Structure 1
Amino acid sequence: MTHSPFFAPRAKLGQPIGEVPEWKPHELPMIPGSPSTPDMPVRRRVLFGLVSVLLGLTGSLGTALVTVNLFQIQGELGLTPVEGAWLTSAYLMTNIAMNLLLVKYRQQFGVSSFVKVFLSLYALAAVAELLVHSFPTGVAVRAFSGVAGAALSGMTVFYAMQTLPAKMKIQSLLIGIGITQLGIPIARVISPMMIDLGGWQTLGALEAALALASVVAVHLVAIPHGMRIHAFEPADILSFLLLASGLALFVAVLSLGRLEWWFERPWLGIAAASGVALVTIGWIHEHRRANPLIDTWWFTSASYVRFAVSILFVRMLLSEQPVGTTGLLQALNMAPEQLRHLYATVAVATLAGTLVGAFSLMISPKLVLAQSFATLTLIALGSWMDAHATVQTHPANLFLSQALVSFAAAMFMGVVVMQGLDHLMRRGFGSIITFVVTFSLTQVLGGLLGGAILSTFQTLRSAHHAAYLAEALTATNPQAAMTIQTYVGAYASTIADPAARTTQGLSVVAQQVLQQANILAFNDVFFLIFWIALAQLVLTAAFTGRSLWQARRQATASATAPPDDVRTAGAVV
Structure 2
Amino acid sequence: MEGATLPPPPPATPEKADATAWMGVAAGAIGSLMATLDISIVNASLPTIQGEIGASSSEGTWIATAYLVAEIIIIPLTAWLERVFGLRRFLMIATALFTVFSIMCGLSTSLTMMILGRIGQGFTAGAMIPTALTIIATRLPPSQQPIGTALFGSTVIMGPVMGPLVGGWLTENFSWHYAFFVNVPISIILMVLLFVGLPKGKMKLGELINADWFGVIGMVLGLGGITVVLEEGHREQWFESALIWQLTAMTVLGFVMIGIGQVYAKRPVIKLALLRNRAFAAVFTLSLVLGAVMFGTAYVIPQFLAAVADYNALQAGKIVFLSGIPAALMMPMFPILVARVDLRVIVGTGIILLGLSCYMDVSLTAQSRGSDFVVTQLLRGLGTVFCMLFLNQAAISSVSVEEAGDGAGLFNAGRNLGGSIGLALLATLQDERWEFHRWSLHSALGANNLNVQDWVSQQAMTYGGGPDGMAAALRSLDGQVLREALVMAFNDDFMALTVGIVLVAPLVLLLRPLPKGYHAKAAH
How high is the TM-score relative to the length of structure 1?
0.77
Shift in Å, 1:481:
2.8
Q: What does residue range 445-524 of structure 1 map to in structure 2 within 5 Å? A: 445-492=417-464, 498-524=466-492
Shift in Å, 1:242:
2.7
**Residues 1:280 and 1:400: Cα distance change in structure 2 (over 3 Å):** same
Tell me which amino acid in the other structure corresponds to 1:448. Answer: S
Q: 1:346 aligns with which of 323, 332, 335?
A: 323
In the TM superposition, what whole-angstrom CA distance separates every residue of 1:183-233 from its partner, at most 9, and x where no partner exists? 34323223343224442332232122222222123234x036899998554
Name the SS for the 1:387 alignment partner.
helix
In the TM superposition, what whole-angstrom CA distance separates every residue of 1:447-494 from its partner, at most 9, and x where no partner exists? 1222333333333433343333223323432333333334333323xx
- Structure 2 distance, partners of 1:440, 1:210, is 25
- Does structure 2 conserve the Cα–Cα contact (< 8 Å) formed by 1:311 and 1:442? yes
- Structure 2 distance, partners of 1:370, 1:168, is 28
Tell me which amino acid in the other structure corresponds to 1:522. Answer: F
Q: What does residue range 229-308 of structure 1 map to in structure 2 within 5 Å? A: 233-260=209-236, 262-263=238-239, 265-308=241-284
- Structure 1 distance, partners of 2:50, 2:402, is 44
Q: Which has the higher contact order (CA 8 A, sep 6+)?
A: 2
- Does structure 1 conserve the Cα–Cα contact (< 8 Å) formed by 2:71 and 2:125? yes
Matched, 1:442 2:418: no
Q: What does residue range 82-481 of structure 1 map to in structure 2 within 5 Å? A: 84-134=60-110, 136-158=112-134, 166-167=142-143, 169=145, 172-173=148-149, 175-220=151-196, 222-223=197-198, 233-260=209-236, 262-263=238-239, 265-318=241-294, 321-336=297-312, 337-356=314-333, 358-364=334-340, 366-424=341-399, 426=400, 428-430=401-403, 432=405, 434-481=406-453
How high is the TM-score relative to the length of structure 2?
0.84
Shift in Å, 1:280:
1.3
Shift in Å, 1:507:
1.1
Larger radius of gyration: 1
Q: Which runs of 5+ in 1 are unaligned?
A: 1-28, 552-573
In the TM superposition, what whole-angstrom CA distance separates every residue of 1:283-315 from its partner, at most 9, and x where no partner exists? 123312333333343333444333322322333
In the TM superposition, what whole-angstrom CA distance separates every residue of 1:423-442 from its partner, at most 9, and x where no partner exists? 23x2x42563x324422431
Q: Which runs of 5+ in 2 are unaligned?
A: 516-524
Match of 2:522 in 1: none
Q: 1:527 aligns with which of 487, 490, 495?
A: 495
- Does structure 2 conserve the Cα–Cα contact (< 8 Å) formed by 1:458 and 1:524? yes
Shift in Å, 1:343:
2.6
Match of 1:569 in 2: none
Name the SS for the 1:361 alignment partner.
helix
- Does structure 2 conserve the Cα–Cα contact (< 8 Å) formed by 1:85 and 1:256? no
**Residues 1:123 and 1:360: Cα distance change in structure 2 (over 3 Å):** same
Tell me which amino acid in the other structure corresponds to 1:454. Answer: L
Name the SS for the 2:398 alignment partner.
helix
Q: What does residue range 3-42 of structure 1 map to in structure 2 within 5 Å? A: 31-32=6-7, 38-40=14-16
Shift in Å, 1:63:
3.8
Aligned residues: 508
Which is worse superposed, 86-95 or 269-278? 86-95
RMSD (Å) for aligned C-alpha atoms: 3.5
Over the matched positions of the two proteins, sequence identity in percent amounts to: 19
Match of 2:518 in 1: none
**Residues 1:384 and 1:435: Cα distance change in structure 2 (over 3 Å):** same
